[in-house]
Amino acid sequence: MTQAATNPKASAPIVKADALKAYYVTNAYGVERTVRAVDNISMSIAAGEIYGLAGESGCGKSTLLKVLLGEFQPPLTVVGGAVTYNFEGKEQDASAMTAEDYRRLRWSKVSYVPQGSMHVLNPVRRIQDTFHDFISTHRDVTKAESFKMTSDYLRDLGLPEKVMRSYPHQLSGGMRQRATIALATILFPKLIFADEPTTALDVVVQRGVIGLLKDIQQKEGSTVVLITHDLGVHANLADRIGVLYAGKLVEEAPTRTILKTPKHPYTQFLINSLPDFEERTVRETIPGRPPALDNPPPGCRFHPRCPLAIDVCSQVEPPMIEIAPKHRVACHLVTDVSTVKDSHASL
């Protein structure tokens, strides 16, 4: 997949989160509500890898991405922990960045491919002008130089020439998404966050987008942190996958491992719900619904829906423990020594 995983020089993680807690705190009509979207998450992402974040809607993936990006505005507040970047050996605390730091990092080093690119491009500006806007903010270029950069890059990515002078509404959905990806990566940033880049696109276009992301990653050796609920996309792209549930990281392992031998019951459910061309069996869904993040269940957040739950699951939060190289799980059944004999339990 990628070469970076074996490169010793890139051993310092390009971005890491330490015991990160980010909540939405709102106060309306005299009632205060706290939504614990990201609750004590620690992870580190190596340079040059493709890391996938998987989970249901409302599990906190988008929030995690926003915080990793350094995009937190009220009501989203970082209540605890830290996010640290590491570019060319220099560490930087994301929450301590000034506006000037933002401007230097954004787009040249850290970039973002948004979810739902239908309205991400300024509707009254031509694509080439929008590109110039973004480029000239971070590089000292003339309009002609921007246009050249843009047209070369778009051509490399397989987009037709006419895209340059078009307005966003004149492009098809797939072209718009690809143009947006191009816009996000035109300065060849080292760290790219992609939020559901393939959702709401038909499968043919999805393949094109996946291919595009792979291309970019391979050519520049960038790191990609990818969110999607579609495990198929993760299977195609990601080196490592982290599974989120109700604001917590429940399992993290290389893609093959997650797909073949998932350990956490939730992950097992997710994998088993994937359609399989060969077998024609009934797919099971997980009973119940994910918890509301303002009032999560005590102990392990998955325990109300978990068919294997035992007493300790409803009392004590399972810690994230490395059970094998690069494989971490947060589940009492898997990590508690006393229940190790049930660790082969699966569905």
Footprint on this chain of another protein (rule: CB under 8 A)? 26, 28-29, 31, 33, 69, 71, 99, 102-103, 106-107, 111-112, 114, 116, 118-125, 133-134, 137-138, 167, 169-170
List, in sequence order, the alpha helices (H) in 197-313.
Answer: 203-220, 231-237, 255-260, 265-272
Our CB check for another protein shows the closer of 71 and 317 to be: 71
For 51-85, b/e burial (b = at least 16 CB within 10 A) is bbbbbbebbbbbbbbbbbbbebeeebebeebebbb
Question: Shortest distance, CB of residue 104 to another protein, whole angstroms?
Answer: 9
Pairwise CA distance, residues 179 & 239, whole Å: 25
Give phi and psi for 155, each to the nearest 5. -65, -45
Our CB check for another protein shows the closer of 101 and 336 to be: 101
Question: Shortest distance, CB of residue 45 to another protein, whole angstroms?
Answer: 19
Neighbours of 333 (CB within 10 A): 22
Our CB check for another protein shows the closer of 289 and 326 to be: 289
The reply to whether omega before 75 is within 30° of 0 (cis) is: yes
Our CB check for another protein shows the closer of 54 and 186 to be: 186
Our CB check for another protein shows the closer of 167 and 188 to be: 167
Question: Shortest distance, CB of residue 155 to another protein, whole angstroms?
Answer: 22
Question: Shortest distance, CB of residue 134 to another protein, whole angstroms?
Answer: 5
Question: Shortest distance, CB of residue 100 to another protein, whole angstroms?
Answer: 9
Q: Which long-range contacts (CB under 8 A, 24 or more apart) does 201-210 make?
A: 201/173, 201/174, 201/177, 202/174, 204/174, 205/173, 205/174, 205/177, 206/233, 208/158, 208/174, 208/178, 209/174, 209/177, 209/178, 209/181, 210/236, 210/237
Q: Running DSSP on this structure, what letter comes out for residue 275?
A: -
Tokens of 208: 């094109």
Our CB check for another protein shows the closer of 106 and 332 to be: 106
Our CB check for another protein shows the closer of 106 and 301 to be: 106
Question: Shortest distance, CB of residue 232 to another protein, whole angstroms?
Answer: 26
Neighbours of 195 (CB within 10 A): 20
Beta bridge partner(s), residue 240: 51, 254
Our CB check for another protein shows the closer of 232 and 296 to be: 296
Question: Shortest distance, CB of residue 116 to another protein, whole angstroms?
Answer: 7
Our CB check for another protein shows the closer of 16 and 109 to be: 109
Question: Shortest distance, CB of residue 215 to another protein, whole angstroms?
Answer: 22
Among residues 159, 234, 246, the alpha carbon closest in space to that of 196 is found at: 234
Question: Shortest distance, CB of residue 213 to another protein, whole angstroms?
Answer: 18
CA dihedral 257, 64, 130, 218 (to 10 degrees): -20
Give phi and psi for 253, each to the nearest 5. -160, 165
Neighbours of 275 (CB within 10 A): 8
